Amino acid sequence: MVLAHADSGASLIAAAKAIVGHDSLVIGNVAVHPDDDTEVLVEQARTQVDKLDQGEGVLIVTDLFGSTPCNIARQLGDGRHIRIVAGLNLAMLLRILNYPGAGLGELVEKALAGGRQAIMDCGPARNLSHD
């Protein structure tokens, strides 16, 4: 499940599904807007988790550690088998979609690896001095 600010989660899910080309996993999404009631969001997220959990648990990915989406995700750890990964990016989501048969622990590792491996300096150093 994706728990992220505004429509960023839905946009990343749509992009990832377009790249993968098929629905390998059912993914829930809860969008967090500035004026939303946090209690309502917690219940929406809990409902999504209940729908998604088929006995193996649920991975929740959030966009930013310490933010409202991440804090909401952390409130859902009430005896359920839930793992939370913060720092969502498209590469992480693609990695998750490419391992639909992975167990929850392995899926967490794949998500972390996908996210980390996608962050790199891609261009030559530029001389910005004005000599």
**What are the residue ranges spanned by the domains of the chain?**
2-117
In this predicted structure, what is the pLDDT of residue 115? Answer: 95
Band of residue 25 on the pLDDT scale cut at 50, 70, 90: confident
The reply to whether the predicted model has a pTM over 0.75 is yes
Q: Which of 106, 69, 109, 107 is nearest to 86 (CA)?
A: 69
The per-residue pLDDT for range 85-121, each reduced to its tens digit, is 999 999 999 999 999 999 999 999 999 999 999 999 9
Please provide the average confidence, as pLDDT, over all residues in the chain: 92
* Pair of tokens at residue 13: 């899910």
Q: How far apart are CA 97 and CA 119, in angstroms?
A: 19
Options 3.40.50.510, 1.10.10.10, 3.20.20.70, 3.40.228.10; CATH for 2-117 is 3.40.50.510
